[in-house]
């Protein structure tokens, strides 16, 4: 059997697929961030905490109310999305006229507080959440758990669904117009503040959905989002701040690159994304898919 | 009015009394600094539980004997970062007059504290950190390693697994001082007992997705996948190994450092059958159960880990030594006194501290119960074997500690 750089091709296929699966999480999370930034110009640092809340609310629904995973998949994004709406109304909406930096600081502070509250209540070692789709199939080059296949499928559907909604529908065109000229859109009789609030709720709902998807495979603990959010920000920066398609493609692409790094030089696997970010920023400051602002 | 004067006089007497006893203690206070992870992946297995354990040791000590009237506990979060830990400890020693630092999980931080403590001639009681270097090449006359170390874990678990046929190993190692030490010590045991190490992969710390590394382990065809990591990393590794059907495929996992809080987070359906070595289990005897019964309500219902028990036991022994000397000023002298006194407390029983700073006590090989065997929450372990004190730790001569010569 031939080998590629010392790695048998079968193992390589396996790692590529795994990279794609991890990329699905990056894509879902960076999509939410891109939607919020692209349409509201808010750098939402609470995103990691909202992802964590998604996983926790799924656990709570199961533990306290007996609602299984599939119910949680629908309910959790709505519940956490509503908390997002409240946060937007109470806090973020007061900062639109200020510099980006204020929104960033506010959401960062909120993230620390939310994580602190969950840590206080549930500790740091995490909570068990059973896998709703145990088992898997042998693809020849690797064992593919059903659950991971499901994660990729739903992530692709949600990502491209969102892209379609924002770029190709009338609702999306209102949203984009409201970002460019809110006064004009308002003059046409559209309630712009409410639309922006709902956009934030939707972005938060996407984070929560990623959280539910993560609950069965990652440890459900208060820091799960903090570990991921920095990587996801790098993904958004590489893809181009606010570019929907950019964040989706970059999310999957970087997942694959990170997966390959885990084979060839595992020690660098959590820095490789930042190296790419530095290179991209040097060559194309607006990101791979972004337009200069 | 009369009672007011009496109270004043009593206070004056107290102050006077305090003044006398303070003469022998540095700034009149025995100040215990608990430093550990208060917010990250090791916060449940160390964290506030260790602070509680240190306070409990003081309360118990003062109940049984007349103790110094000012014993204080302070605590700090080192965030598992050596630079943060070093800054806190320097501040503690130089400005806040802390006399003894206890716990300190995360080996890289503990090694840094070890050096600073020696330089400042204070006392360092390690319960949380694992690396056996603390009593090996990095040993210090100011440090005592209380609860467990990588050698003891490797010896207990590695031996047991190789003897039952698990003779080829692949390591999944956390890429920092602790993981490296645990991998090194376990590999040595595996090779010594006739097994072989077929490969290893080092993952970033802390990690989240281990599937890629697990797949490499799977491809190695090793019978045993040794998890040389801890806390959230171990939880995620085990959870994902179950997802990828690794155990069903005939390979077995060896959790080299597993705490009861990890088992709780995994849940028995996934954790059942895991074999590992620990120094202490809350449900092993009446004394432990009594300790746990007080611990749990103060700590979100969690049971104490061996690290919490070690903090209790080491602080108690420290207080005994300091009170016997009536001074806490000279760190190395206090540690020498602690080494000269046999250890004896309700949680670790009778034991001793060796010249290299290693506290010697039995270790236990545990197996996680199946959901059917478990009678309720936190009823998780059954004892597979007791490793007697004289076999549980690395022989004095093998560690390369200059103090042992």
Mapping DSSP onto H, E and C, the string for chain A reads: CCCECCECHHHHHHHHHHHHHHHHHHHHHHHHHHHHHHHHCCCCCCHHHHHHHHHHHHHHHHHHHCCCHHHHHHHHHHHHHHHHHHHHHHCHHHHCCCCHHHHHHHHHHHHHHHHHHHHHHHCCCCECCCCCCCCEEECCCCEEEHHHHHHHHHHHHHHHHHHHHHHHCHHHHHHHHHHHCHHHHHHCCCCHHHHHHHHHHHHHHHHHHHHHHHCCCCCECCCHHHHHHHHHHHHHHHHCCCCHHHHHHHHHHHHHHHHHHHHHCHHHCCCHHHHHHHHHHHHCCCCCCCCCC
Residues of chain B found within 8 Å of residue A227, distances taken between Cβ atoms? 206, 208
Instruction: Judge: domain B27-148+284-361, CATH 3.40.50.2300.
Output: yes
Highest mean pLDDT among A135-139, A188-192, B207-211, B275-279: B275-279
Say if the Cβ atoms of A143 and B201 lie within 8 Å: no
| pLDDT of B7 over the 80 cut | no
Residues of chain B found within 8 Å of residue A151, distances taken between Cβ atoms? none
Say if the Cβ atoms of A224 and B208 lie within 8 Å: yes
DSSP β-ladder status, B359-360 and B349-353:
antiparallel
Say if the Cβ atoms of A143 and B249 lie within 8 Å: yes
- Lowest mean pLDDT of B18-22, B62-66, B391-395, name the range: B18-22
Residue B219: closest CA among chain A residues belongs to which residue? A11
Residues of chain B found within 8 Å of residue A271, distances taken between Cβ atoms? 204
Say if the Cβ atoms of A145 and B265 lie within 8 Å: no
Q: Nearest CB to B235: which of A123, A219, A228?
A: A219
Residues B121-146: tens digit of each pLDDT? 999 999 999 999 999 999 999 999 99
- Residue B208: predicted pLDDT: 84
CATH architecture of A9-123+140-283: Orthogonal Bundle (1.10)
Query: What are the extents of the domains in chain B?
Result: 27-148+284-361, 153-278+363-392
Residues A151-175: tens digit of each pLDDT? 999 999 999 999 999 999 999 999 8
- Residue B15: predicted pLDDT: 43
Provide the pLDDT confidence category of residue B206 given band limits of 50, 70 and 90: confident
The mean pLDDT of A99-112, rounded to a whole number, is 93
Best residue of A124, A229, A251, A258 to probe chain B, by most B CBs closer than 10 Å: A124
The continuous run of DSSP H or E covering B73 comes out as strand B71-77
Residues A120-136: tens digit of each pLDDT? 889 888 899 999 998 88
| pLDDT of A238 over the 70 cut | yes
Q: Nearest CB to A124: which of B43, B249, B270?
A: B43
Best residue of A125, A145, A218, A256 to probe chain B, by most B CBs closer than 10 Å: A125
Say if the Cβ atoms of A263 and B216 lie within 8 Å: yes
Residues of chain B found within 8 Å of residue A143, distances taken between Cβ atoms? 218, 244-245, 249
- Residue A264: predicted pLDDT: 86
How many CB pairs lie under 8 A apart between chains A and B?
117
Q: Nearest CB to A124: which of B41, B243, B270?
A: B41
Average pLDDT, chain B: 91
Q: Judge contact between A263 and B219, C-beta under 8 A.
A: no
- The ipTM of this complex is 0.85
- Nearest-5° Cα angle at A228, A226 to A232: 120
Closest CA to B291 of B254, B316, B263: B316
Q: Nearest CB to B236: which of A19, A148, A218?
A: A218
DSSP β-ladder status, B343-345 and B349-353:
antiparallel
Q: How many angstroms separate the CA of residue B6 from the nearest CA in chain A?
A: 45
Residues B34-71: tens digit of each pLDDT? 999 998 888 999 999 999 999 999 999 999 999 988 99
Say if the Cβ atoms of A123 and B236 lie within 8 Å: no
- Residue A8: predicted pLDDT: 73
- Residue B22: predicted pLDDT: 41
| Residues of A at the B interface, defined by Cβ within 8 angstroms | 8, 11, 14-15, 18-19, 21-22, 116, 119, 121-128, 130-131, 134-136, 142-143, 145, 147-148, 216-219, 221, 223-224, 227-228, 259, 262-263, 266-267, 269-271
CATH architecture of B153-278+363-392: 3-Layer(aba) Sandwich (3.40)
Average pLDDT, chain A: 90
Say if the Cβ atoms of B43 and A266 lie within 8 Å: no
- Residue A5: predicted pLDDT: 61
Say if the Cβ atoms of A130 and B42 lie within 8 Å: no
Best residue of A13, A17, A126, A223 to probe chain B, by most B CBs closer than 10 Å: A126
């Amino acid at each position: 059997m031939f080998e590629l750089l010392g790695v048998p091709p079968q193992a390589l296929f396996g790692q590529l697929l795994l990279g794609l699966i991890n990329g699905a999480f990056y894509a879902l999370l960076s999509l939410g961030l891109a939607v919020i930034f692209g349409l509201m110009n808010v750098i939402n640092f609470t995103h990691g905490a909202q992802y964590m809340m998604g996983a926790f609310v799924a656990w709570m629904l199961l533990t306290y109310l007996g609602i299984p995973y599939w119910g949680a998949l629908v309910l959790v994004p709505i519940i956490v999305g509503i908390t997002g709406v409240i946060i937007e109304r109470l806090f973020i909406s007061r900062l639109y006229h200020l510099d980006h930096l204020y929104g960033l600081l506010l959401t960062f502070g909120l993230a620390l507080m939310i994580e602190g509250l969950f840590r206080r209540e549930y500790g740091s070692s995490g909570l068990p959440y059973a896998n709703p789709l145990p088992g898997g199939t042998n693809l020849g080059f690797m064992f593919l758990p059903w659950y991971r296949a499901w994660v990729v499928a739903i992530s692709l559907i949600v990502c491209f669904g969102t892209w379609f909604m924002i770029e190709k529908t009338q609702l999306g065109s209102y949203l984009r117009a409201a970002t460019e000229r809110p006064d004009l859109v308002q003059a046409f009789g559209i309630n712009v503040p409410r639309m922006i609030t709902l956009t934030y709720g939707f972005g938060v709902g996407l984070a929560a959905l990623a959280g539910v998807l993560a609950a069965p495979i990652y440890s459900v603990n208060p820091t799960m989002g903090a570990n991921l959010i920095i990587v996801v920000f790098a993904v958004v920066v590489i893809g181009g701040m606010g570019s929907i398609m950019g964040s989706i493609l970059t999310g999957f692409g970087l997942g694959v690159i990170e997966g390959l790094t885990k084979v060839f030089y595992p020690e660098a696997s959590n820095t490789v994304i930042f190296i790419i970010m530095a290179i991209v920023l040097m060559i194309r400051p607006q990101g791979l898919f972004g337009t200069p602002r | 009015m009369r009672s007011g004067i009496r109270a004043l006089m009593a206070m004056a007497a107290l102050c006077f009394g305090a003044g006398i006893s303070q003469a022998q203690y540095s700034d009149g206070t025995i100040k215990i600094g608990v430093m550990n992870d208060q917010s990250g992946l090791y916060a449940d297995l160390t964290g506030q539980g260790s602070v509680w354990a240190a306070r409990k040791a003081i309360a118990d000590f003062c109940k049984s004997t007349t103790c110094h009237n000012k014993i204080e506990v302070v605590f700090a979060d080192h965030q598992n970062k050596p630079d943060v830990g070093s800054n806190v400890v320097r501040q503690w020693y130089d400005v806040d007059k802390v006399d003894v630092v206890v716990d300190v999980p995360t080996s890289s931080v503990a090694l840094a504290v070890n050096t600073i403590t020696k330089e400042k001639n204070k006392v360092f009681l390690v319960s949380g950190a694992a690396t056996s270097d603390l009593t090996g090449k990095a040993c210090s006359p100011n440090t005592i390693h209380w609860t467990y170390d990588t050698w003891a874990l490797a010896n207990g678990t590695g031996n047991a697994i190789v003897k039952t046929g698990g003779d080829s190993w692949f390591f999944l190692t956390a890429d920092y001082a602790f993981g490296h030490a645990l991998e090194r010590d376990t590999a040595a045991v595996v090779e010594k007992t006739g097994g072989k190490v077929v490969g290893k992969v080092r993952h970033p710390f802390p990690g989240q997705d281990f599937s890629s590394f697990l797949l490499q382990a799977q491809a190695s065809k090793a019978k045993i996948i040794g998890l040389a990591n801890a806390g959230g990393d171990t939880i995620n590794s085990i959870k994902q190994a179950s997802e990828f059907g690794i155990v069903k495929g005939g390979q077995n996992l060896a959790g080299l450092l597993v705490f009861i809080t990890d088992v709780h987070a995994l849940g028995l359906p996934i954790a059942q059958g895991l074999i590992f070595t620990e120094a202490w289990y809350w449900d092993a005897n009446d004394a432990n159960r009594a300790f746990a019964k007080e611990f749990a309500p103060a700590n979100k219902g969690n049971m104490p880990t061996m690290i919490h028990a070690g903090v209790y036991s080491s602080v108690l022994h420290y207080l005994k030594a300091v009170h016997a000397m009536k001074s806490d000023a000279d760190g190395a002298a206090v540690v020498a006194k602690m080494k000269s006194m046999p250890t004896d407390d309700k949680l670790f029983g009778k034991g001793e501290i060796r010249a290299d700073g290693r506290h010697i006590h039995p270790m236990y090989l545990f197996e996680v119960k199946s959901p059917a065997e478990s009678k309720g929450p936190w009823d998780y372990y059954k004892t597979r074997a007791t490793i007697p004190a004289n076999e549980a730790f690395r022989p004095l001569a093998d560690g390369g500690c200059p103090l042992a010569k």
